[in-house]
Amino acid sequence: MHEHLNIAVFASGKGSNFKAILEAINAGRICNAKIVLVISNNSDAGALVTAREHHIPARHVSRKQFSTDDDFNAKLMSLLVGYRVNFIVLAGYMKKIDSKIVQSYKNRIINIHPALLPKFGGSGMYGIHVHEAVIASKENLSGASVHIVDEEYDRGPVVLQKTVAVDSTDTPESLAAKVLQLEHEIYPEAVRLFAEGRIKVIGKQVSIS
Ligand code: GRF
């Protein structure tokens, strides 16, 4: 039996990826996992509304509420420990996770990125900017990537990827919509694999059993 996942979701926006994972759990497509906490830096985040609708503890925690980084990160850690979180899912979370948290949850934090990492990743590559860059570079393929979070933005080893064709008629908005669909497929799939204990991360290598 694999360790039951007590998941904390970090989200800044709509939370459609959070919702896709929650629906997969509630539909029984993901077993051995439970979302026990949702944290957002944005008090208006749709993700907080969805969490509350599903009676999941939802907390607005923002760096602005604290005088120091240490106080902010201590608050995050106290919530994670308090809810016995053993796995973190970043779902459109626009802030960097402090290295102390990354180390406490080594290889237990994942993120979804709307491009085929390592291309079109790193600082500044978020939201519509990613799709603008993909179209500007005349790529004929794009997609979504689930990766392990480490100390550098979008640099952790890739767990799952799915590609989609970039058509000549695509705009950044139409490409974003196609990629978001893929995100909603591969993110729940990645959580399922972790919940089944089928993902091994050794160094920078990910193996799926
Ligand atoms: C997605 O496009 C994801 O790739 C990026 O932020 C967006 C999150 O959207 N990390 P949502 O809040 O999950 O709807």
Task: Residue 37: give its domain's CATH number.
Answer: 3.40.50.170
pLDDT tens-digit series, residues 87-99: 999 999 999 999 9
pLDDT tens-digit series, residues 27-37: 999 999 999 99
The closest alpha carbon to 160, from 186, 136, 192, belongs to 186
Percent pLDDT > 70 in the chain is: 100
Count the neighbouring beta carbons within 10 Å of the beta carbon of residue 19.
Answer: 20
Among 54, 55, 113, 184, the one annotated catalytic: 113
The closest alpha carbon to 29, from 193, 143, 163, 158, belongs to 193
Residue 2's pLDDT is what?
79
Residue 23's pLDDT is what?
98
Q: Measured between alpha carbons, how far is 47 from 40 in angstroms, rounded to an integer?
A: 8
Residue 207 Cα to ligand 1 midpoint, Å, equals: 25
Q: Mean of the pLDDT values across residues 162-184?
A: 98
Residue 195's pLDDT is what?
98
Q: Are 98 and 119 in a shared domain?
A: no
Give the residue whose CA is nearest to atom 5 of ligand 1: 92
Number of domains in the chain: 2
Residue 77's pLDDT is what?
98
Q: Are 118 and 95 in a shared domain?
A: no
Q: Is the pLDDT of residue 1 over 60?
A: no
Residue 44 CB-half CA count within 13 A: 0
Tokens 């799952």 correspond to what residue? 160
DSSP-assigned beta bridge partners for residue 59: 39
pLDDT tens-digit series, residues 132-157: 999 999 999 999 999 999 988 788 99
Q: Are 94 and 63 in a shared domain?
A: yes
Cβ neighbourhood burial of 49 (10 Å; 0-12, 13-18, 19+): middle
Q: Are 162 and 207 in a shared domain?
A: yes
Instruction: Provide the domain limits for residue 88.
Output: 1-105
Whether 113 is a known active-site residue: answer: yes
